[in-house]
A and B are shown apart, each in its own frame.
Chain A
Amino acid sequence: MKVLKRKPELCIACHACESACSNTWFKEDNADKSCIKIKEEANKNVILSCTQCGECISICQVEAISRDKNGIVRINKNACVGCFMCVGFCPELAMFMHDEYIEPFKCVACGQCAKQCPTNAIYIEQE
């Protein structure tokens, strides 16, 4: 299965990945709508993104989250009731909410962000 991998030590916090992601999925350049987030901390940069671990699957009471045939953890927006429990319970803090939407969103390992990363701090790997 495809997973977005991270090497935070290479990250220079240019935020190109956030732009790429939000442009791909929400058609706007808005880091708050990105499925990957770069947090600049005192002496390091932290990359928040989904590892496809699947913990959120059993958190969801309405079975709106499942693994697709390629192993990617996906949200079925029609079934989702917008409780955001999956956001609070994601061990990677990689499930997101934006005020304009009533369903959460997450990385599906499409790789658009990795293409824009100048240092290869993020890249798609087959597991």
Chain B
Amino acid sequence: MNIEKLKSAHKLLCEYKYELGKIEKGYTNRTLYINVGDNTISEKPVTQLMKDKFIGGKGFGLYYLWHAVTPKTKWNDPENEIVIGSGPIGGITQYPGAGKSLVCSISPLTGMPIDSNVGGYFGPLLKFSGFDALELQGKADKDVIIFIDGNKGTITIEEAPEEAIDSHVLGEQLTEMYAENEEDKRNISVVSAGSAANHAYMGLLNFTFYDVRRKQIRLKQAGRGGIGTVFRDKHIKALVIRFAGVKGNLNNADDQGKINRTGIKLHKEIHDFDAQQCRMRQVGTANIIEVMDQYDLLPTHNYKFGAHPDTHKISSKVFTGMITQNTPDGCWYGCSLSCAKAVDHFELRTGPYKGQKVIVDGPEYENAAGLGSNCGIFDPHDVLELNFYCDTYAIDTISYGTMTAFVMECYENGIINKEITGGLELNFGNADASLEMLHQMARGEGFGKLAGLGVRNLKRIFAEQYGGDPVFLNDIGMEQKGLEFSEYMPKESLAQQGGYGLTNKGPQHDEAWLIFMDMVNNQIPTFEDKAEALHYFPMFRTWFGLNGLCKLPWNDIIPASNKHSNEPAKIPEHVQNYVDIFNGVTGKNIDKEQLIVQSERVYNFQRIFNIRMGYGKRIHDAIPYRAMGPVTVEEYLSRADRYDGQLKELVGFNPEGKTTEEKMAALRSYREDQYQKLTDAVYKRRGWTMDGVPTIEHLQAIGMDLPEVIEVVKNHL
């Protein structure tokens, strides 16, 4: 790697100097604006209104994005922004999961705001360098790198023609280039995309951290919604930040001791219980693969089924053997839950890096399920190879997995054929075909390029150009609002159908994961119970994104006190921890109810932002029938006893002597009706009209009645 040569090809386009900031109680009170179209850089003050109403992180991101775009803005218009920020708690090193960056943009897949939560060091280092958030706007002519030196107070935009595009190479090159020496590498974080983000709508952003023990960079993904595609469309090759001097008190917290004690308490819990509970330190999120299979929840063959006899081949045990041991890693300092896993020295068998030994960041549950079981692929090496290439090419593994599963079902149903796929035999289980499609996506060629447009576009194209039945395509295409479903089978849990469908950005489980509460433990039997859960959990979980936090340390480790709690699903002791660290950092004095109101404001703002962009109403909350029940005879028969029983007990329809088609129709009308009733209950609980629009009274009650917000809502009431 000839770094000098790469560097000497750089052309300086703009240099900006700034006063190093001071962080007070979690805020630098300043944000950074960079326009790569005209190479301007400026600073903006953080207003009291922003702090009061939007808190930080995703709140700031949505706020800036709202003011940057118009209702007509498309993802690839220059005014679209990518906003990156942490949040007031972000960057503390004592409480696990406090180093997240939140990224917001108008999504190529959905046409409305998307937000993504990502590890790696960029967000905290941005704050320590003096900025609560970074707005990127405009479009460069040629590929540029933006470098922020948070110790010197300089920012440069440099034309950078020669570096790699793919993240695993580019991240190393830039870490080497901008670090002053080996010791300094830990102070660098790079944000980059990859070659497939040049073509596909499901492009992601990789955020690095330097792993001092492996002496290599690690990649964490802002996966959902195609933000990497926007990044490449702006001709940004990378953002690089350097900040040396991370200590535990840089947030200038109001009460550091309180934060330390709360953090130590959780470290101790993780030390005592993780090995018996989730085994996050040992195997990470992949721990649940076989559990999902057991409960019939592991998406298999495009969500047709929830289990497969071959799941044991990609079980957590198999991956545990492949993950390099003894170095539990956090994606930011102080994360003792340490779900970040890696397989070292993985030899690639396909593609441009064939034969090289690489480090694969993963496997995570979503990857094993999406790239694996959902596509009928049960070889762990194939899952890792797909995982690696998705990451370095900058492709969201969830969208890729769900899209590939859809395409495979279309192929097996004859909607598309070898001629259309250019020879790819996209049967379930064909890992080679999936890999080749991914490589095509990176080259911008053939069927892979088309596939990169995502399920929503493919449904239309398959119907319009290849004569596919639009009704069937809509039933089996697992997307909503343009975003592909994440990897849980919601068919048998009405609450989770709502957890996917009644969301702001699309069917991602980060708002609510209620399957166990609903289906396994039967804790939320009525519509009102479900609606309460679909109010509380999305609000609670939104709060992580306002503060720069990770969700996992909330309920992937359970404190001893939970046994005696009357609301065990909420993990009350941990909720109190969050109240404590928020107050400890900011010096405010919120309680657990006010925490929810903080989220409600931003949540409703985002809903109204969707409405402003032409979405966000009841029709957009509809979900494909595959998410609700059996679309095909094959699916019905696979669970015939369960479905027959339900027809008898719940629907009052006697299945005796009826054809499968008749039974399917009866079940379908029942389940679709249930979803509508759930939607009514949830809208009511959230203070929305039956069309899904927040009412003015509700906005006033929660304190989100800003004039620009009311202006939008008025036209939809």
Q: Does A24 contact B (CB under 8 A)?
A: no
- A77 to chain B minimum Cβ distance, whole angstroms, is 10
Which of A58, A63, A83, A89 counts the most chain B CB atoms within 10 A? Answer: A83
Partner of A85, one of B213, B257, B267: B267
A84-B326 Cα distance, complex, nearest whole Å: 19
Q: Does B266 contact A (CB under 8 A)?
A: yes
Q: Does B562 contact A (CB under 8 A)?
A: no
- On whether the beta carbons of B268 and A88 are closer than 8 Å, the reply is yes
Chain B residues within an 8 Å CB radius of A62:
186, 212, 333
- On whether the beta carbons of A83 and B334 are closer than 8 Å, the reply is yes
Q: Which of B362-407 contact A (CB under 8 A)?
A: none
- A97 to chain B minimum Cβ distance, whole angstroms, is 5
- On whether the beta carbons of B247 and A82 are closer than 8 Å, the reply is yes
Q: Does A12 contact B (CB under 8 A)?
A: no
A83-B256 Cα distance, complex, nearest whole Å: 12
- On whether the beta carbons of B264 and A87 are closer than 8 Å, the reply is yes
Partner of B334, one of A63, A85, A103: A85
- A66 to chain B minimum Cβ distance, whole angstroms, is 13
Chain A residues within an 8 Å CB radius of B94:
82-84
Q: Mark B247-263, 1 if CB is under 8 A from A, else 0.
A: 11100000011001101
- B218 to chain A minimum Cβ distance, whole angstroms, is 12
Q: Does A1 contact B (CB under 8 A)?
A: no
Chain B residues within an 8 Å CB radius of A82:
93-94, 247-249, 260
Partner of B247, one of A61, A89, A99, A102: A102
- On whether the beta carbons of A81 and B267 are closer than 8 Å, the reply is no
Nearest A-chain residue to B267, judged by Cβ = A88
A59-B105 Cα distance, complex, nearest whole Å: 37
Which of A62, A63, A81 counts the most chain B CB atoms within 10 A? Answer: A81
Q: Does B576 contact A (CB under 8 A)?
A: no
- On whether the beta carbons of A99 and B212 are closer than 8 Å, the reply is no
Partner of A102, one of B256, B264, B266, B333: B256
Chain B residues within an 8 Å CB radius of A89:
267-268, 271, 336
A89-B334 Cα distance, complex, nearest whole Å: 12
Chain A residues within an 8 Å CB radius of B495:
none
- On whether the beta carbons of B263 and A84 are closer than 8 Å, the reply is yes
Q: Does B270 contact A (CB under 8 A)?
A: yes
Q: Which of A94-112 contact B (CB under 8 A)?
A: 97, 99, 102-103
- On whether the beta carbons of A97 and B327 are closer than 8 Å, the reply is no
- On whether the beta carbons of A97 and B212 are closer than 8 Å, the reply is no
Q: Which of A39-93 contact B (CB under 8 A)?
A: 58-59, 61-63, 80-85, 87-89
- A36 to chain B minimum Cβ distance, whole angstroms, is 18
Chain A residues within an 8 Å CB radius of B334:
61, 81, 83-85
Chain A residues within an 8 Å CB radius of B260:
82, 84, 97, 99
- On whether the beta carbons of B213 and A63 are closer than 8 Å, the reply is yes
- On whether the beta carbons of A99 and B256 are closer than 8 Å, the reply is yes
Q: Mark B327-344, 1 if CB is under 8 A from A, else 0.
A: 101100110100000000
A103-B334 Cα distance, complex, nearest whole Å: 13
A82-B434 Cα distance, complex, nearest whole Å: 45
Take A89-B271, A102-B247 as given contacts and tell me if A84 and B333 are in contact as well, using a CB distance cutoff of 8 Å: no
Q: Does B246 contact A (CB under 8 A)?
A: yes
- On whether the beta carbons of A83 and B327 are closer than 8 Å, the reply is no
Q: Mark B68-105, 1 if CB is under 8 A from A, else 0.
A: 00000000000000000000000001100000000000
Nearest B-chain residue to A62, judged by Cβ = B212
Chain A residues within an 8 Å CB radius of B269:
88
A89-B336 Cα distance, complex, nearest whole Å: 9
- A98 to chain B minimum Cβ distance, whole angstroms, is 8
Take A58-B326, A82-B247, A83-B93 as given contacts and tell me if A99 and B336 are in contact as well, using a CB distance cutoff of 8 Å: no
A63-B186 Cα distance, complex, nearest whole Å: 12
- A48 to chain B minimum Cβ distance, whole angstroms, is 14
Chain A residues within an 8 Å CB radius of B336:
59, 83, 85, 88-89
A99-B327 Cα distance, complex, nearest whole Å: 29
- On whether the beta carbons of B257 and A88 are closer than 8 Å, the reply is no
- B31 to chain A minimum Cβ distance, whole angstroms, is 25
A88-B269 Cα distance, complex, nearest whole Å: 8
A99-B248 Cα distance, complex, nearest whole Å: 12
- On whether the beta carbons of B213 and A102 are closer than 8 Å, the reply is no
- On whether the beta carbons of A81 and B246 are closer than 8 Å, the reply is yes
Q: Which of B220-257 contact A (CB under 8 A)?
A: 246-249, 256-257
Which of B212, B247, B260, B265 counts the most chain A CB atoms within 10 A? Answer: B260
Nearest B-chain residue to A58, judged by Cβ = B326
A103-B333 Cα distance, complex, nearest whole Å: 14
A84-B73 Cα distance, complex, nearest whole Å: 46
- On whether the beta carbons of A102 and B248 are closer than 8 Å, the reply is yes
Take A81-B93, A82-B93 as given contacts and tell me if A61 and B267 are in contact as well, using a CB distance cutoff of 8 Å: no
Take A81-B248, A84-B263, A99-B256 as given contacts and tell me if A61 and B333 are in contact as well, using a CB distance cutoff of 8 Å: yes
A88-B270 Cα distance, complex, nearest whole Å: 8
- B370 to chain A minimum Cβ distance, whole angstroms, is 29
Chain B residues within an 8 Å CB radius of A85:
267, 334, 336
Nearest A-chain residue to B209, judged by Cβ = A61
Nearest A-chain residue to B186, judged by Cβ = A62
- B559 to chain A minimum Cβ distance, whole angstroms, is 13
A59-B246 Cα distance, complex, nearest whole Å: 18
Nearest A-chain residue to B98, judged by Cβ = A83
- On whether the beta carbons of A102 and B271 are closer than 8 Å, the reply is no
Partner of B267, one of A58, A84, A102, A103: A84
Apart from A84-B334, A99-B256, list 9 A-B contacts with CB within 8 A.
Answer: A58-B326, A58-B327, A61-B212, A61-B333, A81-B246, A88-B267, A88-B336, A89-B271, A97-B261
24 A-B residue pairings within 8 Å (CB atoms): A61-B212, A61-B213, A61-B329, A61-B334, A62-B333, A63-B212, A80-B248, A81-B247, A81-B333, A81-B334, A82-B247, A83-B248, A83-B263, A83-B334, A83-B336, A84-B267, A87-B267, A88-B266, A88-B267, A88-B268, A88-B336, A89-B336, A102-B248, A102-B256
Chain A residues within CB distance 8 Å of chain B: 58-59, 61-63, 80-85, 87-89, 97, 99, 102-103
| Closest A-B pairs by Cβ, 5 of them | A82-B248, A88-B267, A99-B257, A83-B334, A88-B268
